Amino acid sequence: MGKIEPFKQKVWLASPTMHGEELEYVTEAYNTNWMSTVGKNINEVEKIAAEKSEVKYAVGLSCCTAALHLCCKLAGERLYGKPAISHGALEGRRVFCSDMTFDATLNPVVYEGGIPVFIDTDRDTWNMDPVALEKAFEMYPEVKLVVSAELYGFPGRMDEIKKICEKHGALLIEDAAEAMGATIDGRQCGSFGDYSAVSYNGNKIITGSSGGCLLTNSLEDANKARKWSTQARENAAWYQHEEVGYNYRMSNVIAGVVRGQYPHLEEHIAQKKAIYERYKEGLKGLPVKMNPIVEGTEPNYWLSALIIDKDAMCKQVRNDSEALYIKEAGKTCPTEILEAIASINAEGRPIWKPMHMQPMYRMHECVGRAGSIRCRTNAYIAGGAEDVGADIFDRGACLPSDNKMTEEQQERIIWAIRSCFE
Q: Would you name the residues annotated as active-site residues?
A: 204
d(CA 96, CA 106): 9
E strand or H helix that includes residue 28: helix 21-32
Count Cβ atoms within 10 A of the Cβ of residue 261 and give its class: 0-12 exposed, 13-18 middle, 19 or more buried.
Answer: buried
Secondary structure of 106-150 in HEC code, one letter for each residue: CHHHHHCCCEEEEECECCCCCCECHHHHHHHHHHCCCCCEEEEEC
Torsion of CA 345, 346, 351, 355, to 10 degrees: 60
Q: How far is CA 347 from CA 10, 167, 247, 299, 322, in A?
A: 8, 43, 33, 22, 17
The C-alpha atoms of residue 292 and residue 388 are separated, in whole angstroms, by 14
Residue 396, SS3 per DSSP = strand
Distance CA 225, CA 46 (A): 13
How crowded is residue 235: how many other Cβ atoms within 10 Å of its Cβ? 6
Angle formed at CA 159 by CA 158 and CA 165, multiple of 5 degrees? 85
The packing angle between helices 252-261 and 40-53, to 10°, is 40
Q: Which segments of 339-395 are extended strands (E)?
A: 349-350, 366-368, 371-376, 379-382
Q: How many CA atoms lie within 13 A of 404 on its CB side?
A: 13
Q: Which H or E run contains 414?
A: helix 407-419
Tell me the CA end-to-end span of the chain in Å, nearest whole number.
Answer: 8
